[in-house]
Amino acid sequence: MSPPAYSRVLLKLSGEALMGDQGYGVDPAVVTRIADEVAEIRDIGVQVAIVIGGGNIFRGMAGSARGMDRATADYMGMLATVMNGLALQDGLEHHGVPTRVLTAIEMRSVAEPFIRRRAIRHLEKGRVVVFAAGTGNPYFTTDTAAALRAMEVKADVILKATKVDGIYTADPKQDPSATRYDRITYLQVLEQGLKVMDATAISLCMDNKMPIVVLDLNERGNMRRAIMGEHVGSLVTV
């Protein structure tokens, strides 16, 4: 078997994908399936860091659209990602995968605070690291947290595992005639205003030449295939 194309990956998992068909919250069956896939990836010797979203529970924009103070709503969104992180840790540990949740907002009785060098040490020891609470700052998203943490832990790639199977010429949920890019540059994503990832995250990756693969989380084996170097979804590079 050929070696993996990447030895340290940052997996950005969509919060919304965790709810499966439920419409809200966390579907244990989805968590189990994701944990199973992550365990397989780790078993081939790949170091796995995960940033988890919160869209299945709460998004700051939704709260502010209903009249909440935006920063307060964003903190609620960040707390939602901590719940998802704990659910994922539980699922991973049921698969025998040692996992540490590291939060960007301190809550020491629940999880470790994020300390960059500790995160790297956990990865070197073969633990899966789940980064929760985003960047710890309102007005950001977990996509930006993924870009930031990927740079901080020197990941080789960001795999954005979400509900769509790649980047399209327009949002495929709104425009069924949209077509998928196999490969696209950061600049094209920004210039065409493609909303699959927010512009802050794309810019950060562009400035630091961090490749991104956008792939469908619901298709089993996709993450492993991408890590083994197969073409899956859409690749964003210079």
Ligand X SMILES: Nc1ncnc2c1ncn2[C@@H]1O[C@H](COP(=O)(O)OP(=O)(O)OP(=O)(O)O)[C@@H](O)[C@H]1O
Ligand Y SMILES: O=c1ccn([C@@H]2O[C@H](COP(=O)(O)O)[C@@H](O)[C@H]2O)c(=O)[nH]1
Residues that bind ligand X (CB under 6 A): 14-16, 53-55, 143, 162-164, 167-168, 170-173, 194-196
Whether 27 contacts 19, CB under 8 Å: yes
207 is in an annotated binding site: no
* CB nearer to ligand Y: pick between 11 and 228: 11
Kindly tell me which of 78 and 88 has the beta carbon lying closer to ligand Y: 78
Phi and psi at residue 139, to the nearest 5°: 75, 10
Does 55 count as an annotated binding residue? Answer: yes
Query: Residue 96 CB, nearest distance to ligand X (Å)?
Result: 27
Q: Answer yes or no whether residue 135 interacts with ligand Y by CB under 6 A.
A: yes
CB of 177 vs ligand Y, minimal distance in Å: 27
139 is in an annotated binding site: yes
Query: Which residue lies nearer to ligand X by CB, 122 or 205?
Result: 205
End-to-end CA distance of the chain: 29
Region of 210 (left: φ > 0; alpha: ψ -120 to 50; beta: rest) is beta
Strands ordered across the beta sheet of 99-103:
112-113, 99-103, 128-132, 47-52, 8-13, 157-162, 212-216, 234-237, 183-185
Antiparallel, parallel or unpaired: β 167-168 and 180-181: antiparallel
CB of 178 to ligand X, least distance (A): 7
In single-letter form, the type of residue at position 98 comes to P
Q: 233 a known binding residue? A: no
What is the number of helices (H) and of strands (E) in the chain? 9, 11
- Tell me whether residue 127 or residue 132 sits nearer to ligand X (CB atom): 132
| Contact call for residue 145 and ligand Y (CB under 6 A) | yes
The least CB distance from residue 196 to ligand X, in Å, is 4
Tell me the angle at which helices 28-43 and 70-94 cross, rounded to the nearest 10 degrees: 60
The answer to whether 147 touches 204, Cβ cutoff 8 Å, is: yes
Chain residue at closest Cβ approach to ligand X: 53
Contacting ligand Y within 28-57 (CB under 6 A): 53-55
Q: Which does 85 bind (CB under 5 to 8 A by kind): ligand Y, ligand X, none?
A: none
| 221 marked as part of a ligand binding site | no
In the bound complex, what is the minimum distance in angstroms from residue 141's beta carbon to ligand X? Answer: 7
Binding-site annotation, residues for UMP: 54, 74, 135-142
